[in-house]
Amino acid sequence: MLNGKLHLAPITAKPQNVLDIATGTGIWAIEFADLHPSAFVIANDLSPVQPGLVPPNVVFEVDDANEEWTYSRKFDLIHCRQHHSAIEERRLFEQSFHFLKPGGWLEMQELGNPIRSDDSSLSPDSALHQWSNNLLDATRRINQATDKPQHYASWMREAGFVNVQMREYKWPTNTWPKRQKEKMMGMWNLENVLDGLHGFTMGLFTRVLGWSPESVEVLLMDVRKDLYNRRIHAYWPM
């Protein structure tokens, strides 16, 4: 999506301290540490799933980013990609502001809901549309709405940030776009969504919305068909 760049924030050439929140596999932190030998990268996550063989300038910490941060240093860059509403953003922005050096940057890269299309090819009656709207509804009910990235810029300003910029990208549902780059992104996205679909639907639909597991399975069968359907020109705003 970013043509191979790891971030868009115009950080200094030799950043010293960098924090990656909700690092997951740690891939971003490892690549950043490799590219910037000057930097010391702290990367946290609730789960210790990161590899052991990593560059010497990256350290992984098990931490809950929703708790009060206790870092003994301030950062040039704080990065958080795809936490998917697991972290309460306004608090995250306030804590980030506090733990950035003057002139430091916070960069969020996050996916929004609901899924959209610009040419009405995503019908409101489609399983995909219904799934996306119900998912958003469920996340709203548990106060972890997945449409919050649209508010990030104003929440960042409220937290004290200046020079806030928002860039919007599109993640196609499959290979429907004409251009090669978007086609490729659609291919990866389809793979990613199909892999996680059951996992990130079942709990929300049964425990929050009260659906039976059987009716979720039935919906997901049609959602998968829509996800493969190249006549549906849908995308996630990113």
Ligand X SMILES: C[S@@+](CC[C@H](N)C(=O)[O-])C[C@H]1O[C@@H](n2cnc3c(N)ncnc32)[C@H](O)[C@@H]1O
22 contributes a contact to ligand X by CB under 6 A:
yes
Q: Which is nearer to ligand X, 44 or 175 (CB)?
A: 44
47 contributes a contact to ligand X by CB under 6 A:
yes
Q: Which is nearer to ligand X, 87 or 209 (CB)?
A: 87
43 contributes a contact to ligand X by CB under 6 A:
no
* Token pair belonging to 152: 């990030």
Q: Which is nearer to ligand X, 117 or 149 (CB)?
A: 149
81 contributes a contact to ligand X by CB under 6 A:
yes
Considering the complex, what minimum distance in angstroms separates the CB of residue 132 from ligand X?
Answer: 18
Considering the complex, what minimum distance in angstroms separates the CB of residue 30 from ligand X?
Answer: 10
Stretch touching ligand X by CB under 6 A, among 22-30, 111-119, 126-134, 161-169: 22-30
Q: Which is nearer to ligand X, 64 or 158 (CB)?
A: 64
Contact with ligand X (CB under 6 A): which of 17, 23, 132, 134?
Answer: 23
Q: Which residue is nearest to ligand X (CB)?
A: 24
54 contributes a contact to ligand X by CB under 6 A:
no
CB contact at 8 A, 53 and 81: no
Interface positions, 82-121, toward ligand X (CB under 6 A): 82-84, 86-87
Count of residues near ligand X by CB under 6 A: 19
Stretch touching ligand X by CB under 6 A, among 33-41, 42-50, 138-146, 215-223: 42-50
| DSSP secondary structure letters along 5-62 | -S--S---SS--EEEEES-TTSHHHHHHHHH-TT-EEEEEESS--S-S---TTEEEEE
Q: Among 6, 189, 143, 147, which Cα is nearest to 80's?
A: 6
Stretch touching ligand X by CB under 6 A, among 1-9, 32-40, 64-72, 123-131: 64-72
CB contact at 8 A, 7 and 77: yes
66 contributes a contact to ligand X by CB under 6 A:
yes
Q: List residues near ligand X by CB under 6 A.
A: 22-25, 27-28, 44-47, 64-66, 81-84, 86-87
